[in-house]
């Protein structure tokens, strides 16, 4: 096993001041367990301080470092150099911003705009159901929780939306749709009709082609397509109100 790799990054750049786009090539020696966020930082420190990219927690919990590497949307903070070499079978990596929102600069996209889809589905409890144990915290039956607990790992990185072939065609997108489905499965939510209306609207689940690309790329290993498939099968249409 090598300790260092000579890698080449071909990064999509965009300068908003001059409205100029270009691909810039960086060649560097990178330690095998450096993450791609570390590599970007090394580029900033050693080669080019002007390269702009995004990250916050650097522990796969905030979703802000989502980029495309050789066409695959992923979290840069999760991708080790040695894993990238093994996964893609090359030391040359094309790095581009994700496509779910306009680019602000280089690898940074307008996440506020991407979030509009999630905000639209109201990913919170709209109307709280009556607590069966008033005065205590609402306790969810573990069997109910099991049905959707995986989805609560979502960090809204939009990798699934980037991979989704339907995302640009008026579809709310996999993570937004899943966020609403979770609240439909949540016994604490009373407002089901409003959710169903949007879910089965023109922007809703029937836009999904069941390609499962969303599940394939999700860095939190959530089977996003499973939740969408439940809704497409009409699972929630017949559920009684709680
Ligand atoms: S479902 Fe997965 S890929 Fe999609 S936004 Fe959530 S964490 Fe990211
Ligand atoms: S399964 Fe549906 S939501 Fe997921 S990527 Fe494919 S078309 Fe998009």
Q: What pLDDT is attached to residue 215?
A: 98
Residue 240 lies in a domain: no
Q: What pLDDT is attached to residue 96?
A: 98
Residue 207 lies in a domain: yes
160 in the same domain as 100: no
The closest residue, in CA terms, to atom 8 on ligand 2 is: 164
| Residues with C-beta less than 6 Å from any ligand 2 atom | 163-166, 174, 208-214, 224-225, 228
The closest residue, in CA terms, to atom 2 on ligand 2 is: 208
Q: What is the pLDDT along the chain (242 residues), one digit of tens a residue?
A: 789 999 999 999 999 999 999 999 999 999 999 999 999 999 999 999 999 999 999 999 999 999 999 999 999 999 999 999 999 999 999 999 999 999 999 999 999 999 999 999 999 999 999 999 999 999 999 999 999 999 999 999 999 999 998 876 789 999 999 999 999 999 999 999 999 999 999 999 999 999 999 999 999 999 999 999 999 999 887 554 44
Residue 169 lies in a domain: yes
- CA–CA dist 21, 15 (Å, integer): 6
Range of the domain at 145: 111-232
Q: What is the pTM of this model?
A: 0.94
127 in the same domain as 38: no
State the ligand closest to the CA atom of 75: 1
Q: What pLDDT is attached to residue 240?
A: 45
Ligand 2 pocket mutation, candidates 117, 165, 232, criterion most atoms within 8 A of CB = 165
Domain finish residue from 74, 109, 144:
109
- Ligand 1 neighbourhood includes 158 CB (under 6 angstroms): yes
Number of domains in the chain: 2
């Amino acid at each position: 096993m090598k300790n260092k790799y000579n890698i080449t990054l071909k990064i999509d750049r965009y300068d908003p001041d001059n409205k100029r786009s270009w691909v810039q090539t960086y060649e560097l020696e990178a330690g095998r367990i450096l993450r791609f966020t570390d590599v970007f930082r090394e580029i900033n420190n050693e080669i080019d301080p002007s390269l702009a990219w995004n990250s916050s927690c650097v522990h796969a919990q905030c979703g802000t470092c989502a980029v495309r590497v050789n066409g695959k949307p992923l979290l840069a903070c999760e991708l080790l150099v040695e894993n990238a070499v093994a996964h893609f079978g090359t030391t040359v990596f094309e790095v581009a911003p994700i496509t779910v929102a306009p680019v602000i600069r280089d690898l940074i996209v307008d996440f506020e705009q991407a979030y509009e889809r999630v905000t639209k589905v109201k990913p919170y409890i709209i109307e709280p159901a009556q607590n069966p144990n008033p005065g205590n915290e609402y306790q969810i039956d573990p069997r109910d929780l099991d049905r959707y607990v995986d989805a609560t790992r979502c960090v809204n990185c939009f990798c699934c939306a980037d991979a989704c072939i339907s995302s640009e065609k008026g579809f709310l997108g996999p993570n937004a749709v899943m966020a609403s489905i979770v609240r439909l499965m949540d016994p604490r939510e009373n407002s089901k009709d409003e959710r169903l209306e949007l879910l089965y609207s023109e922007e809703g689940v029937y836009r999904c082609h069941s390609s499962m690309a969303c599940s394939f790329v999700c860095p939190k290993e959530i089977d996003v397509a499973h939740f969408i498939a439940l809704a497409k099968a009409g699972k929630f249409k017949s559920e009684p109100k709680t």
